[in-house]
């Protein structure tokens, strides 16, 4: 693990003693579960398409079949994947902090539901989820956890027959108001902030990293094998995979907190 060594122990101690920890997760957290990161989601049949050109209302209007096939493919993949050590460690951290009277808020940009499957409770899905689909005409929503593909693309609404789409947030769309409210409040209150496996370029979520870095008294850490535009502002940077580094950090905090809290 390459990091700003020497600060790791201090960071783990502050994490153990925190009042409110906010973790912001990106696609890198699920990478070791076999879920391709957003910008790398160009495998197999989909290799020739640019994900940023499929994830928009304009793309859906232009070619609903192609866009919903892509999302259905990713929906099935998410269901086949299992949470990894990073998801599990975040769930452990939440549990441990709550037992010690502290708060933990997870803001995730991931649409795969792996945090919830690992046992995280306080999760806000900033970009929605692949596992719910809604009717573009009447708004009816349903959970779609069947392993087989939809019979047609776009799938039709059981209520009105309208075309259905995944409940994810596309470019140019508003994020869920409740998730934004929760994120605003959590970031304004946290004393430790973790940015995990995100390229930190998609707004408004990347703005929460800027806010956390600007907040006096908030300690901030980044875990990502690659640098991001925000890397210079963090107190601790671990250039490692989330599945390798998050469990180590959480374990170190719990070991220190055992005596300290």
Q: How far is the CB of 187 from ligand BJW (least distance, A)?
A: 16
Q: Is 153 a catalytic residue?
A: no
Residues of this chain, 104-133, that bind ligand BJW according to CB under 6 A: 109, 111, 127
173 makes contact with ligand BJW (CB under 6 A): yes
59/170 Cα distance (integer angstroms): 10
Per the residue annotation, which of 100, 127, 146, 153 is the catalytic one?
Answer: 127
2 makes contact with ligand BJW (CB under 6 A): no
List the end-to-end C-alpha distance of the chain, in Å, as a whole number.
27
Residue 69 touches which member of Zn ion, ligand BJW, none, C-beta under 5-8 Å by kind = none
By C-beta, is 55 or 186 nearer to ligand BJW?
A: 55
130/120 Cα distance (integer angstroms): 18
* Site size for ligand BJW (CB under 6 A): 31
Q: How far is the CB of 154 from Zn ion (least distance, A)?
A: 11
Residues of this chain, 132-171, that bind ligand BJW according to CB under 6 A: 168-169, 171
Residues of this chain, 129-158, that bind Zn ion according to CB under 5 A: 135, 137-138, 140, 157
11/133 Cα distance (integer angstroms): 40
174 makes contact with ligand BJW (CB under 6 A): yes
By C-beta, is 64 or 162 nearer to Zn ion?
A: 162
39 makes contact with ligand BJW (CB under 6 A): yes
What x-and-dash track marks residues 54-73 binding ligand BJW by CB under 6 A?
-x------------------
Binding region for Zn ion (CB under 5 A) = 135, 137-138, 140, 157, 159-160, 162
Binding region for ligand BJW (CB under 6 A) = 26-28, 31-32, 37-39, 55, 109, 111, 127, 168-169, 171-174, 197-199, 201-204, 224-226, 228, 241-242
């Amino acid at each position: 693990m390459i990091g700003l060594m020497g600060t790791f122990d201090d960071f783990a101690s502050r994490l153990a003693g925190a009042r409110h920890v906010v973790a912001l997760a990106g696609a890198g957290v699920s990478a070791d579960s076999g879920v391709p990161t957003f910008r790398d989601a160009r495998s197999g049949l989909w290799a020739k398409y640019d994900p940023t050109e499929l994830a928009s209302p304009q793309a859906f209007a232009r070619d609903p079949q192609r866009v919903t096939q892509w999302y259905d493919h990713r929906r099935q993949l998410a269901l086949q994947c299992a949470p990894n050590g990073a998801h599990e460690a975040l769930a452990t951290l939440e549990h441990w902090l709550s037992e010690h009277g502290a708060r933990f808020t997870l803001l995730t940009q991931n649409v795969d539901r792996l945090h919830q499957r690992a046992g995280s409770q306080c999760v806000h899905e900033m970009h929605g989820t692949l596992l719910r689909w809604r009717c573009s005409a009447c708004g009816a929503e349903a959970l779609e956890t069947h392993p087989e593909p939809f019979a047609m693309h776009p799938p039709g609404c059981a209520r009105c027959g309208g075309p259905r789409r995944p409940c994810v947030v596309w470019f140019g769309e508003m994020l869920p108001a409740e998730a934004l409210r929760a994120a605003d409040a959590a970031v304004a209150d946290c004393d430790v902030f973790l940015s995990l496996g995100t390229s930190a370029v998609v707004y408004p979520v990347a703005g929460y990293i800027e806010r956390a870095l600007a907040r006096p008294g908030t300690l901030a850490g980044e875990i990502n094998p690659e640098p991001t535009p925000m890397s210079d502002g963090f107190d601790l940077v671990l250039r490692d995979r989330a599945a390798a580094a998050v469990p180590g950090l959480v374990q170190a905090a719990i070991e220190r907190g055992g005596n300290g809290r």
